[in-house]
Amino acid sequence: MNLSKRKKQIIPKLSMAGTTAMLFAMQASQVFAESIGTAEVQTATDNIKRVITSIAMPLGGVLIFASIVVAALKMIANSNNPQKRSESIGSLAWICGGGVILGASLIIAGIIVNVATNNTGSLLGG
């Protein structure tokens, strides 16, 4: 009973402290932005494209390949156990789902970069 009573007293206090901290953080935020030049936007766009093409795609491909190999080895190892073999086959669906998510994220990242820069190297509206 004592622990429950203490929780009921502490939770409102923590909630009030969190709300107060959030309000102070929102009030104190100041933005010191400068105009962004075309060269900086082009450099940032090129860096994003380089990261996507040189890291994300190959790493995702290697992970998907390794996952398929592991699932295949599990299927071979569990060839005499139908229940475990079906679990291994079910993991292929998760691997395919991960590949679809990876591909969709790469497509969406490319669309965002092209829309944000209008494929010209300068930010829209800037």
What is the distance, to the nearest Å, from the Cα of residue 65 to the centroid of all Cα atoms in its chain? 20
For the cut 60, the answer to whether the pLDDT of residue 24 exceeds it is yes
Over residues 57-82, the mean pLDDT reads 88
- Specify whether the CB–CB gap between 47 and 121 falls below 8 A: no
The model's confidence at residue 84, banded by pLDDT at 50, 70 and 90, is confident
Instruction: Answer with the residue of higher pLDDT: 7 or 50.
Output: 50
Give the amino acid at 64.
I
Give me the mean pLDDT over the 23-42 stretch: 63
Query: In this predicted structure, what is the pLDDT of residue 35?
Result: 61
**Residue 65: predicted pLDDT:** 92
- Two tokens at 75? 């299927």
Contact 34, 117 (CB under 8 A): no
